[in-house]
Structure 1
């Protein structure tokens, strides 16, 4: 915390106290030494000398600030003047202030006016405007700059509203925005936080509106929808409504495409938005048109919720299927099981509804935690990106890193629940007697299959005797029979077949995971009580309800532990049910990709003229078997031309498809391998693998897409396919990988 900020926070804290407070308490609150607090108190004492205020500092008494509220407020004003005069010296802060002023003004602002405002030269303002222009361009807005005219923002009202919201998100953290709104309601803006010098600018943007009235309207929406918004979504809706009213008062209203508005009107949320509009018309001198009601509906649809359920374009069973497949992608990435995690499943289901609505209605979102998430959960972020591409392929739109960041939080929490993040990787040594080539193959196979394993070294059985490495590793993976006293040995085939993988997984689970539904801590048992085999009791009474099981166990449980035990049993059965369903799914879903991708639906070519010809070539493999109509290929190309290169789902890989109604006769997938690659105009260029998907419904193809995501994470398989000399050889490689 900067010194000026710390002084302000210290002063503000003292103003709020009715009695004396100790130096020790102040140092703990501000996280500095007692010595620093004493220096800061001396500076505050100097600052308040010209006001009718008294700062008392006595041993065994503490620190007390005394004086009238009016005098205290004068000091707040001096703090703000002092800070704000220095606050806009950085280019970033000047950029934000310029944007605030531009959004406030209907008419152009002259360069010299901005120079006076910022206390910098016109040359510096011109450089700042370059940054402003770049920022606006990303928001689909233009900055008009003309000599003797000034500068002005130009663009569609809907983009201006989105940009204003983005500006608030970037320049004001969510927590501080909530604090600002609370203080605006109480009319105590003089105590705004010093870290942000935009309070006055935000007030000007929002206008002289009673935010408390708007808050009551948003609470009504929560009640009507039977949901609870997150704090950021709740605050966002208040700000959105405030913007809408202030812009309408300035005769700047939204226009929504008639076809889109027609679709919005079918939503249940539209009726709630209409009620919100009616309440706003009662409270403010403004008429809310249908397009504005539609825009409020979009925000209701895209808002993140803490509780409840929102509607979306996908049916509930389709959303559930998509969530299960996303979980499966992450499970495969980390070689772990999340199937029993009900919190992950339900949390993703609610979150996905909001994501789908944001995608459909082009509602931008910003994740203030994104950089922290990418730093602290980098590997989970990469896994979540793969999972998010299932959404991308469904809606022809690239999923932003902000959205991926929120998905990462869900998956990261699930992994934390099984201690995956805290758990160290299992350190292993490989013993192989068949030469370097076989050893390398086994290493690659292990790395592809197990993220939880770190290969410390590869050596011969002779090298292993009395080797210091035995102290470093957890166990040994060997291709030959081996007997060691010091470490466990798992014997595998050099090609790491399916039974070998299961053998290693079982070992890892036995060593790393605790089973059972009760606390690991051993309960003290009196001499009269015999230890209870809880697992056997559960196994013998699988038809019982949790409450009935508790009755069986009641003699062995402390009275105060019964509610917790009952909850744990319920969770246990819910998780076991999900695991059984997932296990049945996995048995039924072997060869998911190869169910749809047949041997004669693969083609390898050296090069293609361009991406259009490549899609035609890949589509023709399905057309030749009468699985699609010719118009399906044409539609795939039109979608890329209209939506952009969002069919690129991973480096070198794209997944092209059209709608079910565009001429699909039978569900199928084709694969075109282009050794030299083609340019799609995407960061994942060159594209060397083009999958064409022809779906007959919204969900039956999802498991195959999950396999394609697994393919995207398997560099060796991709390289082997590029090196394959024939389509038959390529198909065999896919069989070896996906038929396990």
Structure 2
């Protein structure tokens, strides 16, 4: 695949007039961002061979800076029949067989894929790499062939991820794509019993129940997860739900929503959900990013009561280490309790990212407060047995650092966006929460005719949701709507440098 991937990346860059990020290239080529980075040396060689200039804008993306006519002429010379995608097709086909528990033996794959046994084994290694982030093991035995070892929840998640990736893969191919392994038929396995109008009604009922509208990039994942879960349930594949999570849901005051969700399923699908399945379907909705910045979150936080004893322990601990006046101390305790209530609710979601790289950066920036946060977390742990602690640890560190260093001047940020209002609110929420050294002082809706307004605005840094080709790479930071914690980590690192410089 790598033999031809660089040609695909090269052609995409030739046909683009704007900067493309590694994530955008990875999505179009259906590979990882790391693979794109490893491919770039060959792309650079191909550009130089054709007297073109590949410019790498650190932290932003890639752009070939030459005349459009010259780029078009070079692109036309790249053949479209290169077997770029064969390996990816094979991986998706084998995953389909494994996830649907079909006959999947090495001998059968040799015949079906027209490959030698060593090549099959090499492809299986790639399949195992795909399964590894989901904590799913691939078992190879002589008696039963190949099969995956995992619980039902992981099985459903793997099917949903496979479906979305394969669907994107098919859509990204040319009109002449032959589909030799019949991946379209594999997708139809999940669509043959899919009633679009019924699921549209299902989604509307859920949004009405929870009082919000799903973000666009959440909706596809929610629908397919709900569809797969209901079909797996009909086929007698049921989930179990840990008692600890049930207790957290009850503590967060969310059991009413679980019961009402079960009633919606009964009304539309005539299925009497087992308790574990009702809690599981509820957790799918709760796991969506849509839930982050909604009134329902505030309503549920109000129902959670933090014990006075824990409150006093945290108060005593902070008072001995950070000099704050009574008003500041009270405000900090309120913020810590709010963060704890958020975390209890997010723990119910079972999808809290570890954000290890981001927390490593936080620890490097605020080492003393990172240790203080660890001790406060240990106090909390005696009352609330939380998991996925890195992200919460990071939040506590930033709260402590924010109050202890509040006298310092923050970096002012002009935020330029081209996304919907829901996405914009979510991104502003994340900037406020995870970039304590900066404050958004102005928000602009992108207009190519007013780029100079952004440049002239009295701010330290511009953060944009799209590449601003009118500005140089060092005049703004890119935070795409589908950002990752790596994006936040990079921007936080740059803004922290400004913060240190301003406050020297």
Q: TM-score, normalised by structure 2?
A: 0.49
Whose helix fraction is larger, Structure 1's or Structure 2's?
2
- Higher relative CO (Cα under 8 Å, sequence separation at least 6) belongs to 2
